[in-house]
Amino acid sequence: MKSSIDKTIIDNTNAWPFVEAKKILRERKQYIDKKNKITLQTGYGPSGLPHIGTFAEVARTSMLVNALNQLTDIPKEIITFSDDMDGLRKVPDNIPNKDLLEKYLNKPLTKVPDPFNKFGSFGEHNNEMLKKFLNQFGFNYTFKSSTDLYSSGQFNDSLKLVLKNYQGIMDIIIPTLGKERQKTYSPFLPVCPETGKVLEIPVIKIDENNSKIIFDNNGNKLEKSILNGECKLQWKVDWAMRWYALDIDFEMYGKDLIESAILSTKIINLLGKRNPSGFAYELFLDEKGEKISKSKGNGITIDQWLEFASPESLSLFMYQNPKRAKKLYKEIVPKAVDEYLDLINKSKNQDDKQLILNPVWHVHNGNVPKEDMIMTFSMLLNLVETSNANTKELLWKFVKKYKPNIKEENFPIFSKLIEYSIKFFNEVIKENKKYKKPNPDEKKALEQLIKVLGECNENMLPEEIQTKIYSVGKENGYKDNLRDWFKLIYEVVFGDENGPRLGFFISFFGIQETKELITEKINNV
């Protein structure tokens, strides 16, 4: 359903989901008008469990659908396609019963036993994990299985067309291959009638009239139908065929697949249709700047993020700068959460033009929560440390000491944030804390800060307290570099170079409590 946001505002916005949505409607107009539907696709290789890249692709595509909903009432569908007919190339390290799978190498994933003994095959197991994974985020999608579409004959007409254009496809692919690979390459991968394995072998001859290929299987000349799941296509050809058969209007993909997308585009054009609108996104990096890999286990997993922060904060991270490589590791979570809270706060005073540029509008499909933000996640982490609160109830009790009129039920985001902060502090921050031991001059400055805080009262505004802190710094040699003064306080009190805005923190935490905290730290470090 279209929104009430003025068309002029939408036409002029540069928020990327709207830019891409308008591009789809422009580039795919003839196809969309003909079928009265917009079809978007995300792909999944079910050789392993869903990961953060899977979430990113579906989340971003869903944001695009939200933008399309503002532009047109034409129905939209996200197809999540599982390439479960792909052969098992290697046995994953993170599964039970590894030995069981060794003899099933190169067989279609839907013909490999489930090592978890829960489903009919390894492919089915991973497909079900994918659906469970997507469902927990409330994504609206249609699941499609490569095995089902091949074996049921739904791809047959498109496969015949690929066979008809066999030589043209070879002319596109062959120049991109090395000399040895050129000798054996074929767009079709027959399923061996004897072993059930997906074979990468040279095709000797094609029989277009009977939809068959003749291939060399270790010196034996064999004939095989290309229909009804007896063959599957090589990756780039398969991708193009899917675009063709399913009338895909849009698909995003990682920048590592740009070359594949170029070749698949040439192939679908050869088959007689225009390629979908595309969107190449950058990949995620770990804290060292290396590409995140499931096999390396570097970076942060979906499950880890959701232990420490909300799905919405993760969606925000995915929304921002999708064409820029971003580091993704545990320590970036607080910053991502605080950005999310800040953007929700800003949304309350924004007009429509500003609102659709606000990432949380896209994260929440246009329905941004109205909750007031009590404090940042970073400050809450400091509060967990300084109050020694290790349960949600204790921390809420502490918060209510200073905000007595707060009702938990009115603050669902903050209430959940309290749980996250306790877990994140204990599992990520605590072990890495390194408290600075102040030298005599630094200790003298901090003791003066304690004395000045003693002259404050609980009714003072945060900014007034902040001004007092500035004054102490100036009187103790930090006049020209107050940044170092605050850094000293943070390193001594919080064991970090950065920390909360001190005036606000002290106002919330309590003046007497802060004096005791600083005294404890300078005497016990």
Identify which of 262, 301, 270, 504 has the alpha carbon closest to the alpha carbon of residue 403.
Answer: 504
In a domain, 453, yes or no: yes
Question: What kind and span of H or E run contains 204?
Answer: strand 203-207
Q: Regarding beta strands 220-225 and 212-217, do their DSSP bridges make them parallel or antiparallel, or are they unpaired?
A: antiparallel
In a domain, 198, yes or no: no
The count of domains in the chain is 4
In order of 21, 22, 178, 268, 406, the CA distances from 56 in angstroms are 17, 21, 33, 26, 35
DSSP per residue over 6-30, as a string?
-HHHHHH---HHHHHHHHHHHHTHH
476 contacts 445 by C-beta, under 8 angstroms: yes
In a domain, 188, yes or no: no
In a domain, 183, yes or no: no
For residue range 218-266, what is the model confidence (pLDDT) as tens digits? Answer: 778 889 999 999 999 999 999 999 999 999 999 999 999 999 999 999 9
In a domain, 372, yes or no: no
Say how far apart CA 162 and CA 184 lie, in whole Å.
18
Say how far apart CA 389 and CA 507 lie, in whole Å.
18
Q: What is the distance of C-alpha 110 from the center of its chain?
A: 27
Q: Regarding beta strands 250-254 and 203-207, do their DSSP bridges make them parallel or antiparallel, or are they unpaired?
A: unpaired
**Residue 419, CB-side half-sphere exposure with 13 Å CA sphere:** 10
Altogether, the residues listed in the chain come to a count of 525
∠ Cα 395 401 407 (to 5°): 75
In a domain, 222, yes or no: no
In a domain, 212, yes or no: no
41 contacts 77 by C-beta, under 8 angstroms: no
- Secondary structure class of 108 (helix, strand, coil): strand
Say how far apart CA 388 and CA 385 lie, in whole Å.
5
Say how far apart CA 475 and CA 483 lie, in whole Å.
14
Could you say which of 388, 411, 432 is where a domain stops? 432
Taking each continuous run of H as one helix and of E as one strand, the counts in the chain are 25, 12
Residue 327: count other Cβ atoms within 10 Å of its Cβ: 16
Regarding whether 501 and 465 lie in a shared domain, the answer is: yes
Q: What is the pLDDT of residue 1?
A: 44
Q: What is the pLDDT of residue 16?
A: 96
Could you say which of 223, 253, 281 is where a domain stops? 281
pLDDT of the chain along its 525 residues, tens only? 445 688 889 888 999 999 999 999 999 999 999 999 999 999 988 877 777 888 899 999 999 999 999 999 999 999 999 999 999 988 887 788 888 888 999 999 999 999 999 999 999 999 998 998 899 888 999 999 999 999 999 999 999 999 999 999 999 999 999 999 998 899 999 998 888 999 988 899 999 999 999 988 777 888 999 999 999 999 999 999 999 999 999 999 999 999 999 999 999 999 999 999 999 999 888 777 777 665 555 667 788 899 999 999 999 999 999 999 888 888 899 999 999 999 999 999 999 999 999 999 999 999 999 999 888 999 899 889 888 788 899 889 888 877 788 888 999 999 999 999 999 999 998 887 888 999 999 999 999 999 999 988 888 898 999 999 999 999 998 888 889 999 999 999 988 888 888 998 888 888 998 999 999 989 875
Partners of 253 in beta bridges? 280
Identify which of 289, 512, 510 has the alpha carbon closest to the alpha carbon of residue 402.
Answer: 510
Q: Regarding beta strands 212-217 and 203-207, do their DSSP bridges make them parallel or antiparallel, or are they unpaired?
A: antiparallel
E strands within 45-187? Answer: 76-82, 142-145
Say how far apart CA 269 and CA 272 lie, in whole Å.
5
52 contacts 302 by C-beta, under 8 angstroms: yes
Residue 14, C-beta contacts closer than 8 angstroms, at least 6 positions apart? 357
Regarding whether 151 and 57 lie in a shared domain, the answer is: yes
173 contacts 260 by C-beta, under 8 angstroms: no
Secondary structure letter of residue 375 according to DSSP? S
* Domain interval for residue 87: 7-173+235-281
In a domain, 191, yes or no: no
* pTM of the complete model: 0.86
Identify which of 106, 90, 109 has the alpha carbon closest to the alpha carbon of residue 98.
Answer: 90
Regarding whether 311 and 254 lie in a shared domain, the answer is: no
E strands within 282-434? Answer: 284-285, 326-327
Regarding whether 100 and 45 lie in a shared domain, the answer is: yes
Regarding whether 396 and 257 lie in a shared domain, the answer is: no
Regarding whether 299 and 248 lie in a shared domain, the answer is: no
CATH number of domain containing 149: 3.40.50.620
Could you say which of 329, 363, 397 is where a domain stops? 363
Q: What is the pLDDT of residue 171?
A: 97
Regarding whether 154 and 268 lie in a shared domain, the answer is: yes
Secondary structure letter of residue 187 according to DSSP? S
Residue 222, C-beta contacts closer than 8 angstroms, at least 6 positions apart? 190, 193, 214, 215, 216
E strands within 401-448? Answer: none
